[in-house]
Amino acid sequence: MPSAARRNVAVGASYLREQAQRCVRLARDCPHLPTSHELEAIGVELMEKAAELDELLAILPASAGRRHREQ
């Protein structure tokens, strides 16, 4: 994976983590229980998506190297 693309994926993962943390903070401060629970759930989903991007970063360089050797 080109370094610019890897950087974009890393920035995307970081952004998702920041947004997840924001949702959790909002959930803590929200007096409306259903909204608080929904914000917490959104935060969890965003953290899961960030973890998926981290996994992609770990996997893609190895597969890109294999492709070049196979050609």
Q: State how many domains the chain has.
A: 1
Beta strands in 1-71 (DSSP E): none
List Cβ neighbours of 47 (8 Å cut-off, separation of 6 or more): 16, 17, 20
Of residues 60 and 56, more confidence is placed in 56
Write down the pLDDT at residue 5. Answer: 81
**Averaged over 54-59, what is the pLDDT?**
89
Amino acid at 20: A
DSSP annotation of 28 reads H
Q: Which domain holds residue 22?
A: 3-70
CA–CA dist 36, 28 (Å, integer): 7
How does residue 65 score in pLDDT terms, banded at 50, 70 and 90? very low
Query: Which H helix or E strand runs over 46?
Result: helix 33-70
In 3D space, the residue among 24, 4, 19 whose CA is nearest the CA of residue 50 turns out to be: 19
Of residues 28 and 8, more confidence is placed in 28
pLDDT in tens, 11-40: 999 999 999 999 999 999 999 999 999 999
